Each structure stands twice: as C-alpha cells, then as structure tokens.
Amino acid sequence: MRSRLIVFICIVQSVLLLGHWFLYVTWRAFFGIPASSAGVKIALGVLSVSFVLASLRAWYSHQPLVRVWYTISAVWLGLASYFLWAAVLCWIVVGADRLFGLGWAPRSIAAVLFTAAAAAGAYGVINAAWLRVTRIKVALPNLPEHWRGRAAALVSDTHLGHVRNSRFIRRVVRILARLKPDIVFLAGDLYDGTAGDFEKLAEPWVELTTPHSPPVVPYGVYYIAGNHDEFYRDAEYHGPLVAAGVRELNNEKVEVDGLQVVGIHYRDATHPDRYRAVLRKAALDSARPSVLLLHAPYHMEIAEEEGVSLQLSGHTHGGQFFPYTWIARRVWGKFIHGLQQLGDLKIFISYGAGTWGPPMRVGTFPEIVLIQFE
C-alpha cells in the first residue's frame, strides 16, 4: 500500500513539474525577457511542488498556517490548469496565424488567452463559494399520505478540511434551518480526508437535532460514508457526529414514520455481490416506498432490481470545473447530475456543496437539494 502511494505521488508530482515547465517555456517565448527572470523561475519552481507538499502536510496537521498553505496551493492548482490550457492555445493560435497569414502579434495572443484564463479561474473561485438551493419534486409510488408535501434535504460532498471548515458547515446548517426540511440526508464525503478538528466540525449539527424540543429537523439527520471519509478511522470522526445527533446508517435500514431509509457505505457498494447482499439483508418491502442513501451512483441496476424507489447520491461533482466537466460527462453519462430514471428507480445525483482540490467550479455549481415528496 505504501509503495503504491509513493508511486502515485511521484507520478502526480512529475506531471505537475512537466506542466509548470511547459508554462515557463510558453511565457518565455511569448513575453520575452521579463518572463524568464530568476523570480519567475523560482516562483514556478516553488508552485510546482507546493500542492503535493501541502497535501502531505495536511494529512497530519490542521494548524492555521497549514490550512492557508494548502488553500493557496489548491487555488493555484486550479488556476495553473487554466494557464496550461491557455499555453496550449497560444501555440495553436500562433500556428494558425502563420498558416493563414493573419498578422496577429504573438504577445497580444498570449495576453488575451492568459487574461481569459485568469478570469475563468477567478470566476471559478467565486462561483464555488456561492452555495445554491436546488428545489425538486419527486413522486414516489405508495407514499404514505402523511409524507406527501414533506421535504428532505440532501447535502453531499462538503469536503470539510483545510479549504472549507467549521465556518462553511455552519453556513450549511444555517441554510438548512431556514429551509426547515422534515429530514436531512448527508450523502458522504462529509470530510475531505485531511486532518481536522472533528469536534468543532461536528458541533454545528446540534442546531438541527435532538437536543432541541421539538428538533428543528423532526425526523433526524442521517449520514453514510463516502470514499474520502474512508481515509479516516471511524473513531476519528464518528463519535463527534453521533454526539451532535447525526445518525450514521451502517449498511442498514431504518423505518422513519413509514418511510424505509437505507444507507450503504461507499466501500461496500463498489463490489456488486457485496452490495446486492447488503441490500437483500435490509429486507426492503417493494410495496412501500424506500430511499437509498449511497455516496456514488454505482450499480444502479442492482438497486432497481432490489425494489429501491429513490436513490440519493453525490460523488461526481459534475466534473467540478470545465473542461473536466466533459470528461466526467463521458464517465457518468446522464447520471452525472440531476433527477434521472432507471426502470422503476429514481436517482438524484447532487453536484455537492463543497469542492475537492481546487476550490473552483466552472460549468457546475455547489448546491443543497430540497426534495418535496408527492
């Protein structure tokens, strides 16, 4: 396991070094002597290794300086991605200019493309910080009459850690308190996988749960683990969540006022046979409505065969920011986002509330989903 991790880190760092070298070569070619100064070389050299080093340090520390270092490195990683695309386009446009004799100045071409890249990065950071509420209506067969008109909130992929921390989750909780859902579902990747103060990160959920009489969310807050949550030992974050009144569904079914709610961990849903066995053990009554809480939209045909009515997932982030949204669309198809249908199974896939890696969103948006049952 350790050797695989070292190989992975080496590959990532090599790609980053190559990308920064290409960026330097392009800047030097298009902007001349100022772009080849010692200061530029040193800055690009430091930035090329900053994200990997910050990530390694972030595994073990959540001190303020580490959080700042990690955040700056993550923002630069996203911005450098757009700069890299701008660099590629510079050479393509100059080639086209020479082919067709357009007479465009190379410096002007580069200035326009790199300005556009910087603007896209800035927009992505602002857009990722603007949390929206997506409202949908879902009709479930044989829904008990007392559930009609009730609302469930879906929160996925908050990725609490060094970029988004206790201030962010307090904002999420304030929005939920304002929406007044009857039940809240947390669909995994609550945490980012880095070190954190889990007591402080879990504390805001108390505002919605059982210590209040009546509770703000009358039918509770339910959580299942995503792939990033599995980077931790359960003991690290589980206790504070439970103490805050959040119920973790550990591959089990619970009855919530006549509604069947099933939660399955990410790691168990990645294996089809294990996934099917967990669902069958839950003993769903297909004649009654059920909600499956599962981090990723995996093996949906199994959920449909086992009689699940509605699956709630996240994980995809929609690709998070363009052009990686195109790649994610090819991987997930229509199950990248939104309310979809597979046979009798309805699936809603959320873009998520937070971000992973670069805190940017271009072509997607962060969301809390409010589902009204019909």
User: How far apart are alpha carbons 237 and 62 in whole angstroms?
Assistant: 14
| Packing angle of the helix pair 64-100, 106-129 (nearest 10 deg) | 140
Q: What is the pLDDT of residue 235?
A: 64
Instruction: Tell me: cis bond preceding 359? Omega within 30 of 0 counts.
Output: no
* Beta-strand pair 290-294/310-313: parallel
User: How far apart are alpha carbons 352 and 316 in whole angstroms?
Assistant: 8
Question: Residues 274-278: what's their mean pLDDT?
Answer: 95
- What's the pLDDT tens digit per position in 48-102? 999 999 999 998 898 999 999 999 999 999 999 999 999 999 999 999 999 888 8
- What's the pLDDT tens digit per position in 91-130? 999 999 998 888 899 999 999 999 999 999 999 999 999 9
Distance of CA 223 to the CA centre of its chain: 16
Q: What is the pLDDT of residue 234?
A: 63
- Give me the half-sphere count of Cα atoms (radius 13 Å) on the Cβ side of residue 83: 19
- What's the pLDDT tens digit per position in 328-371? 999 999 999 999 999 999 999 999 999 999 999 999 999 999 99
Is the C-alpha dihedral spanning 218, 224, 228, 230 positive or negative? positive
- Give me the half-sphere count of Cα atoms (radius 13 Å) on the Cβ side of residue 61: 12
Instruction: Answer whether 269's CB lies under 8 Å from 294's CB.
Output: yes
User: How far apart are alpha carbons 251 and 254 in whole angstroms?
Assistant: 10
Q: What is the pLDDT of residue 84?
A: 97
The whole model's pTM is what? 0.93
User: How far apart are alpha carbons 43 and 28 in whole angstroms?
Assistant: 14
Q: What is the pLDDT of residue 230?
A: 86
Please report the domains of the chain, with CATH numbers, ordered by start residue. Answer: 2-128 (no CATH), 132-373 (3.60.21.10)
